[in-house]
Structure 1
Amino acid sequence: MISIRTTVTLPGGVAAMPVVGFGVYQNPNCKPACLAALQSGYRHIDSARAYRNEAQVGDAVRESGIPREDIFITSKINKISGGYQSCLDAIGDSLKNFGFDYLDLYLIHSAYGGKAVRLEAWKALLAAKKAGKLRSVGVSNYNVKHLEEITEAGLEMPSVNQVELHPYCQQRSIVEYCRAHGIIVQAYTPLVRGKFENLVLQELSKKYGKDPAQILIRWSLQHGFVPLPKSQNPDRVRSNIDVFGFEISKEDIDRLDELDRGKEGAVTWNPIDVD
């Protein structure tokens, strides 16, 4: 069986990130789900300022009884047009919302705003990292050209790029670039919003005795991605992390890979081509 690590060390060696995270998008009352996730073994929660649930995540961490340092917390800044100081202020507000002294990972949520705005926001994240407020920094929904802007500016590269990623939308050029530059790829919407009707996915679910969500998460892990499944159902929360005891064969991975429809396969906003 392929050995899948349960954590991955981010570039710079600052923090070990669990390879399966718990997403809380569209869940403003996420504390119960977070507590269920932490009780089920998750140690990685992915939030964002736009989700309006940073405080609930913080409350769940404290109520769980699990030491803060044992839980990897991510958030994201969505409004970067205010410039450098505005971004620093937003980071400070996020920390206040969570009730934490630091965050393990902080991302620019999307590439909207133009090159100059993106670079100012990135400099703010780097400054907050240097100040110890953020342990690692990264981006989300960045295409290759957005990543190359950072290289061309001579700035430290992101530790992570979080994009929509699943068999129907595999973002191959972005993944290839990130791998070549040591950027960890996180996969949001790994469960394709429950669009499990594909015949190949259904067949493999029966073959391996796993539900379609587990097949999709395992596909992501075997490709070296960090999937971020979400659910408010406690049973689903538990099953979504029960993915380390089986292996999808190379032949079947190839069959899932053949489902790629590029951008047409996306099931969310997927704003990777903005200027």
Structure 2
Amino acid sequence: MTDIGLSSQLTAPLSPDARIPLIGFGTWQLSGDEARQAVSWALEAGYRHLDTATGYGNEDQVGAALRDSGVPRDEVFVTTKLPPDHVGRERQTLQESLDKLGVDHLDLWLIHWPPNGTAGVESWKVFVEAQKEGLVRHIGVSNYSLDQIDELTSQTGVTPAVNQIKWSPVQFDRDLLEGSRERGVVVEGYSPFRAAKLDDPVLTGLADKYGKNVPQVIVRWHLQRGVVVIPKSAKRERIESNIDVFDFELSADELTAIDNLSEA
């Protein structure tokens, strides 16, 4: 079991006075009582970053678990996302998310996918206004290319703080990571285990070396690369295991070996 609050010690900067925890708890495909219980376990285990979305249909359960946890609201970083088919209903969707989550602001609001394959400039303008009004502390995107991010910046003068994308050892993209950082965009990875080759000898060898399991090695790799990771599980033991990654550190050569799995 990880000490409560320990996960918050590893963060990435979003602005001069705000940071995002590098480990979050993902809630995709969790619903009903299962979602509420999983989020409760996550908060007990020390997660202080919760990731949901309007499209997941579980914002009310995430909010209930947060309220019942006893963890102060200002200690938990809450993210949700606007579905691309809600273009034109951004403010209504935001208010619905706030109501379901039972909070008066979001820490991060993302455009979930590029609307109709476009950058979604008009939606982004609404996001910018919501941030100015204090309803959202930070705004970002998900599944965007660097060109689409550049279009938002050029049209509004505001660059997304975060781009949440599918990310795992086999999807490591140095150019994308460096390009994002040059723009001041934090990369946040979802589905860290689904695309990974969990039986790869590099990963299993490192797990054996450090007395860990492969998912823990993958989470640690994200952290040391400064990429936000949001593992998801409905099982308490896996929720606790995925955040139990603070008692070992990968070497520079080991990080590079994992990076190179994207070329295998």
**1:46-85 map, 5 Å:** 46-80=51-85, 82-83=87-88
Secondary structure at the aligned position of 1:138 is classed as strand
Asked if 2 retains the 8 angstrom alpha-carbon contact of 1:33 and 1:234, the reply is: yes
Displacement of 1:205: 1.0
What TM-score, normalized by structure 2, do the two folds share?
0.91
Asked if 1 retains the 8 angstrom alpha-carbon contact of 2:25 and 2:230, the reply is: yes
Amino acid at match of 1:256: I
Asked if 2 retains the 8 angstrom alpha-carbon contact of 1:11 and 1:182, the reply is: no
Displacement of 1:19: 1.3
Q: Which residue of 1 aligns with 2:137?
A: 135
Shift of the 82–249 alpha-carbon distance from structure 1 to 2, 3 Å rule, reads closer
Q: Which residue of 24, 42, 46 corresponds with 2:47?
A: 42
Could you tell me how far apart the structure 2 residues matched to 1:146 and 1:255 are? 31
Q: Which residue of 2 aligns with 1:10?
A: 14
Asked if 1 retains the 8 angstrom alpha-carbon contact of 2:81 and 2:110, the reply is: yes
Q: Which residue of 2 aligns with 1:270?
A: none
Secondary structure at the aligned position of 1:258 is classed as helix
Could you tell me how far apart the structure 1 residues matched to 2:13 and 2:182 are? 16
Q: Which residue of 179, 188, 191 corresponds with 1:189?
A: 191
Q: Which protein is richer in helix relative to its size?
A: 2
Q: Which residue of 1 aligns with 2:211?
A: 209
Could you tell me how far apart the structure 2 residues matched to 1:81 and 1:60 are? 26
Could you tell me how far apart the structure 2 residues matched to 1:45 and 1:172 are? 26
Q: Which residue of 22, 27, 33 corresponds with 1:24?
A: 27
Displacement of 1:8: 2.7
Asked if 2 retains the 8 angstrom alpha-carbon contact of 1:170 and 1:260, the reply is: yes
Unaligned runs of 5+ in 1: 266-275
Displacement of 1:74: 0.2
Could you tell me how far apart the structure 1 residues matched to 2:220 and 2:116 are? 35
Amino acid at match of 1:203: G
Displacement of 1:189: 1.0
Amino acid at match of 2:57: R
Residue identity over aligned pairs, in percent, reads: 39
What TM-score, normalized by structure 1, do the two folds share?
0.88
Displacement of 1:194: 6.8
Could you tell me how far apart the structure 1 residues matched to 2:194 and 2:173 are? 14
Amino acid at match of 1:126: V
Q: Which residue of 1 aligns with 2:260?
A: 258
RMSD: 1.8
**Aligned pair 1:226/2:228, yes or no?**
yes
Displacement of 1:254: 1.4
Could you tell me how far apart the structure 2 residues matched to 1:81 and 1:27 are? 21
Displacement of 1:81: 5.6
Could you tell me how far apart the structure 1 residues matched to 2:173 and 2:114 are? 16
- Give CA-to-partner distance per residue, 1:75-104, whole Å, 9 cap, x none: 001135633xx1111111111111111111
Amino acid at match of 1:7: T
Q: Which residue of 2 aligns with 1:269?
A: none
Could you tell me how far apart the structure 1 residues matched to 2:117 and 2:238 are? 39
Asked if 2 retains the 8 angstrom alpha-carbon contact of 1:111 and 1:142, the reply is: yes
Q: Which residue of 138, 163, 166 corresponds with 2:165?
A: 163
Could you tell me how far apart the structure 2 residues matched to 1:110 and 1:187 are? 14
**Aligned pair 1:100/2:103, yes or no?**
yes
